[in-house]
Structure 1
Amino acid sequence: MTCDAVLEKLHYLADDEKIIFKEKKYGIIATNSLGIYHKDLKIIAKDIGFNNKLAIELFDTGIYEARLLCSKIFRPKNVTEDLMEKWVKTFENWEICDSFSMGVFSKSELALAKILDWTKRTAEFEKRAGFAIMASYCMADKTSSNDLFEQFFPIIKSEANDERLYVKKAVNWALRSIGKRNKDLNKTAIKISKEILTYESSSAQWIAKDALKELQKEGVRISDYPRAIYRKT
């Protein structure tokens, strides 16, 4: 399928009312948006399959939904640092940030490097991307030991005072995700949440309370990664 053919499909699905709805309902404001729901883009992506060349061409059109589609058809193992840096600097809302972070970045060999780098960034959605990768990596990496994930707790603690909505939500997301990886990390995440609860900032208070509410609730679903260890206990 050519880039022009995909763009023709996207323009056929365009709906200005959906642009308005997504902004009002989800706070998604996007440049050059056609107004297409994620579920419809998934159908197109499934028809295309992985196609790195087409993905890059679609991203470079500057059309918002074409960029979202890029995140669904680019093969994660082929992503380069140059592409990651190019793409992350264009993120303007949580939807596209999370789509790339979850679909491509967290599954790449550069995931850990970008977690350590981007969580220190100043730009809101570059920083969110770092924490979104962190949160997603808990499921993308099913074999690493707890030591790898425990190194993320100091980062979470140091950035818990960021008051920006989409940063604090991503910090919270990462904390909860690590805490649901296995029973031992759950205990540590609860301990870290209680430490963050002592901070004075409203963002830290919200992050900690929301994380504790989920991590301590009865029946919380906790995974068993790495299974080589936790399936035996």
Structure 2
Amino acid sequence: MLIPVEPSIDEQVDAALAWLQRHATKATLEGMARYAIPSDHAFGVSMANIQQLARRLGRDQALAQALWETGWYEARTLAAYVGEPARLTSAQMDRWCRDFDNWAICDTLCFALFDRSPHAWKKVALWAGRRDEYAKRAGFALLASLALHDREAADAQFIEGLSLIEREAGDERNFVKKGVSWALRSIGRRRSPKLKAAALATAKRLAQSPDATARWIGKDALRDFAKAARKRPAA
């Protein structure tokens, strides 16, 4: 009786890349430019199809690492859904963060993988102070993702996050300021009443700042909070 042989990591990567190529479309590839996503090393595969393949593959950290090393946009996106949070090392998170070259990869990794890692909170403080635009965005994208997903986190951790938001609110680079706003809005809409009040106070201070970028972030958050309040059903 023949014993089935599991395909090697290299074989799995080759099969995944072939699958992605088969599911690529010119329209998807061309559409990436409208969202400021580089397409020179991409196939043009929809997120729905990438997630479909991820479900078939399951969680496998070694495979995620190998997919990442290919450099293909879709393979790196796939790595976010295939990676195993508990096996993701601190050093590996830093290496991948240094590779970020667009907001979509940054946000997907933070939202679907990094925020489930035991190293996540340490990375928020570390990356928020980075000079690189996408690494710095990662600090705030990760904070936003934790606000949405980490139900065990203490309020004090997010209070520290609000301090980081105020500290870095003057960074005028597009993807940084939008990441900072996302973090502030997520804390103000998804956490405890105490944190919502603290986020609102932070947004009001920023909206009155003499710095134009900080004002934009504060007003962006205030608009979002007001919109959420209008949608909230009356008690």
Assess same fold via TM > 0.5: yes
Aligned to 1:193: 203
What residue ranges of structure 1 are gaps of 5+ in the alignment?
A: 222-233
Structure 2 partner of 1:5: 15
Residue 121 (1) aligns with residue 154 (2): no
Looking at CA atoms only, which structure, 1 or 2, has the larger radius of gyration? 2
CA contact (8 A) 1:76 1:103 kept: no
Structure 2 match to 1:70: 79
TM-score between both structures, scaled by the size of structure 1: 0.90
1:43 is matched by which residue type in structure 2? Q
Which letter does structure 1 place at the counterpart of 2:114? F
In 1, the alpha carbon distance for the partners of 2:84 and 2:114 equals 10
Is 1:132 aligned with 2:126? Answer: no
1:135-150 pair list within 5 angstroms: 135-150=144-159
Contact 1:30–1:92 (8 Å) recurs in 2: no
Of 147, 158, 161, the match for 1:152: 161
CA distance in 1, matches of 2:30, 2:121: 36
Task: Assess if the C-alpha contact under 8 Å between 1:179 and 1:186 holds in 2.
Answer: yes
1:220 to partner: Cα distance: 5.2
Give TM-score, length-normalised by structure 2. Answer: 0.89
Taking the aligned partners of 1:144 and 1:3, their CA distance within structure 2 comes to 36
Q: Distance in 1 between matches of 2:39 and 2:80?
A: 16
**Identity of aligned pairs, percent?**
35
How big is the shift at 1:185? 1.1
Match of 1:225 in 2: none
Do residues 91 (structure 1) and 97 (structure 2) align? no
3-state SS of 2:48 partner: helix
Once residues 92 and 173 of structure 1 are traced to their aligned partners in structure 2, the CA distance between those partners, rounded to angstroms, is: 19
For the residue of structure 2 that corresponds to 1:89, the secondary structure is: helix
CA deviation after TM superposition for structure 1 residue 201, in Å: 2.5
| Equivalence for 1:22 | 32
Higher helix share: 2
Structure 2, unaligned stretches of length 5 or more? 1-6
**Whole-angstrom CA distance in 2 between matches of 1:127 and 1:82:** 17
In structure 2, what residue type is equivalent to 1:192?
T
Distance 1:30 1:113, change over 3 A: farther
Distance 1:32 1:160 in 2: 32
Which runs of 4 or more aligned residues in structure 1 lie more than 3 Å from their structure 2 counterparts after TM superposition? Answer: none
Alignment check: 8 A CA contact 2:24 2:46 kept: no
Coordinate RMSD, CA, aligned: 1.6
1:40 is aligned to 49
Verify the 8 A CA contact 1:190 1:216 in the aligned structure 2.
Answer: no
1:55·1:69 contact (CA, 8 Å) conserved in 2? Answer: yes
Number of aligned positions between the proteins:
221
Equivalent AA in structure 1 for residue 222 of structure 2: L
Aligned mates of 1:114, 1:144 — CA distance in 2: 15
Amino acid aligned to 1:125: Y
Distance 2:81 2:39 in 1: 18
Secondary structure, counterpart of 2:42 in structure 1 = coil
State the match for 1:216 in structure 2.
226
